[in-house]
Amino acid sequence: MKTLVILAHPNIDVSRVNRRWKEELEQYETDITIHEIYQAYPDWNIDVSREQKLLEAYDHIILQFPLYWYSYPPLLKKWFDDVFTYGWAYGSSGNKLRGKKLSLAMSIGDKKENYTPEGSVSFTVDEVIAPFKASIKHVGAIALPYFAVFGASFQATDEEINQSAQDYIRYIRKYQKNAGSISV
């Protein structure tokens, strides 16, 4: 099973986590494809048909991004709005994403312990990503457990980021191996 990574980082050149993850993914280009939407669409003029054809060609799709204001960077929101169209993604004849496995891979600035009901954020990551899970359900796809690294703003050391890059590949391999037998 091949994996498509939709990478949305507005400033990848100054990124620590997403840039390191991208370098790691690039070593596995035979079965992992990276599509960087901020690079592909500097003018934000998304080629909807190109994006839809790309998505149709993969069974496992990962949306990779830094968490910004408990949400996605804005071009990824536009990408959803433009690409997940009626008649293609949903509606009586819109079934192109049905049964595909979708994941989020996020770098999260704050510490893990703050993403609890008692922590400073007050919400778990699963609660924060509820709109994503609802969207995935709406188009009949399968939301896999998310992959994340916490403390991505300041606390994470280079060693931890390197380790997270290895863990990210292991995460992808796990779901490539389990193709067809996921229940979430």
Query: Quick check: 164 binds ligand FMN (CB under 6 A)?
Result: no
Smallest gap from Cβ 59 to ligand FMN, in A, equals 26
Nearer to ligand FMN, 16 or 133 (CB): 16
DSSP calls for 6-21: EE--TTGGG-SHHHHH
Smallest gap from Cβ 27 to ligand FMN, in A, equals 18
What is the C-alpha separation between 157 and 168, in angstroms, rounded?
A: 16
Distances, alpha carbon 114 to alpha carbons 111, 117, 120, 122, 181, in Å: 6, 8, 5, 7, 33
What is the C-alpha separation between 46 and 48, in angstroms, rounded?
A: 6
Query: Quick check: 154 binds ligand FMN (CB under 6 A)?
Result: no
Query: Quick check: 152 binds ligand FMN (CB under 6 A)?
Result: yes
Cβ(8)–Cβ(75) under 8 Å? yes
Residues 52-71 that bind ligand FMN (CB under 6 A): 66-70
Options 40-48, 103-111, 131-139, 140-148: segment touching ligand FMN (CB under 6 A): 103-111
Angle between helices 48-56 and 74-83 (to 10 degrees): 80
Query: Quick check: 109 binds ligand FMN (CB under 6 A)?
Result: yes
Binding site for ligand FMN (CB under 6 A): 9, 15-18, 66-70, 107-110, 152-153
